[in-house]
Amino acid sequence: MTSQAVRLFRKMDGLFAVYKPQGVHWKHVRDSIESNLLKALNSCPPPAPQLAVQFQLLSGGENSSSKDVVLSPSMVPTLADHPLVTGPQFHKVHVGVGHRLDAFSSGVLVLGVGKGNGVLEHLCKSHVTRDYTLEGEFGKATDNFTHTGRVIEKTTYDHVTLDKLERVLAMIQGANQKALIMYSQVDLHTQEAYELAVRGLLYPHGKSPPILTGLRCIHFNPPHFTLEVQCVNETQKYLRKLIHEVGLELRTSAVCSGVRRTRDGPFKVENALTRQHWTAGSIIQAIAHFSKATRKIRKSGMYKQTAGQLNSSAQVQEQTRSQTEQINQEHVELSSSTSDTVVDRETPVTLSEGRTKH
């Protein structure tokens, strides 16, 4: 008979998403989740104490005459498994973190509990794309690309219009489209590579620099503007630097006032748990909600381990790409009217080549 605590512990296996607030280190989030889970586990009512037979000197009772102390057996609870003796039953719950978010950013943070930690590794290796919303502000440049940094330069921004911004974003997208194919580790001189490129299936499955697969402006109100970005292999500092570079291309300067991750693979911000819900009950519900996605990630991860046995790298590309697409299937590719990148899959451009001399 398992106790309620053990039954609760066995339910804590899987992946779920948490909304990390801004200004908080991701480690604090992980630690508070772990302590909440431990609190819930250790506050479960302990099982009924085990009884052991003990021979005690008790007064006789009815059978013998009174005032005779006789050795009689009785069931007495053993104190060996009393919680006040042994201490709390659970000391540690393995909670792991997926793609990290630095202190300045906020948004979806994927955590794994128990057996889900193994699946976390597969998620990290699967090169799923992530969605971010970046808030930017024209007019100043700082040392760490955020609005709280030391101001290095101030510039005018009255010449910036939405169509100029869209043109610059289209150019950045063009460079990133090329990078997608450049880092796909497929020999471009083969017919299979051409077939995949035409269908838009070439994707960087190995090591690659940060690549933006989608970029568009969703709000423009000078000096403030908001960009929506889909990227792979990125860091939040790279995204803040992107805002700075958008400013430079527009012959002004820009700082980032917010980075918010709205999606990490199949984990979206609508299903992420906010601080009030960092309790064991909500977490277990969330794990159950994401169990399908977790299974898919685990399957794709196991596929990749055996992928080395396949002959052609292009075949591996196609099948791992379809796996990644299945994982990402709920998200819609970004495309806006003036800067659609998705359609033009034949035609890639490199990031490093963008340094032309003037």
Closest distance of CB 140 from another protein, Å: 8
Provide the residue count of the chain.
Answer: 358
- How would you write 28-44 as a 3-class SS string? HHHHHHHHHHHHHHHCC
Which one among 46, 249, 279, 336 touches another protein, defined by CB under 8 A? Answer: 249
Catalytic hit among 31, 81, 102, 187: 102
Binding of residue 91 to another protein (CB under 8 A): no
Between 150 and 207, CB nearer to another protein = 150
Q: Is the dihedral of CA 165, 101, 207, 352 positive or negative?
A: positive
Q: Report the C-alpha gap between 304 and 300 in whole angstroms.
A: 6
Site string for another protein, 146-175 (x = CB under 8 A): --xxxx-xxxx-xx----x--xx-xx--xx
Between 63 and 148, CB nearer to another protein = 148
**Residue 173 phi/psi, 5° resolution?**
-65, -40
| 217 bridge partner residues | 227
Between 83 and 223, CB nearer to another protein = 223
Which one among 251, 275, 292, 295 touches another protein, defined by CB under 8 A? Answer: 251
Look up tokens 């046995």; give the residue: 309
**Residue 288 phi/psi, 5° resolution?**
-65, -40
Contact at 8 Å (CB) between 212 and 113?
no
Closest distance of CB 18 from another protein, Å: 24
Between 136 and 265, CB nearer to another protein = 136
Continuous segment of H or E residues that includes residue 53: strand 51-59
Query: Does the annotation count 102 as an active-site position?
Result: yes
Interface stretch with another protein, choices 7-15, 210-218, 247-255, 326-334 (CB under 8 A): 247-255
HSE at residue 96, side-chain half, CA atoms within 13 A, is 18
Closest distance of CB 132 from another protein, Å: 22
Q: Among residues 335, 264, 299, which one has the least CA distance to residue 100?
A: 264
Interface stretch with another protein, choices 63-71, 246-254, 263-271, 315-323 (CB under 8 A): 246-254
Between 256 and 327, CB nearer to another protein = 256
Contact at 8 Å (CB) between 290 and 16?
yes
Q: Report the C-alpha gap between 130 and 213 in whole angstroms.
A: 10
Between 180 and 231, CB nearer to another protein = 180
Contact at 8 Å (CB) between 172 and 215?
yes
Q: Among residues 199, 166, 162, 165, which one has the least CA distance to residue 184?
A: 199
Which one among 198, 218, 288, 310 touches another protein, defined by CB under 8 A? Answer: 198
Q: Report the C-alpha gap between 124 and 112 in whole angstroms.
A: 12
Binding of residue 28 to another protein (CB under 8 A): no
Residues in binding contact with another protein, number by CB under 8 A: 45
Binding of residue 346 to another protein (CB under 8 A): yes
Closest distance of CB 139 from another protein, Å: 8
Binding site residues, another protein, CB under 8 A: 143-144, 148-151, 153-156, 158-159, 164, 167-168, 170-171, 174-175, 177-178, 188-191, 194-195, 197-198, 249-252, 343-344, 346-350, 353-354, 356-358
The catalytic residue positions are 102
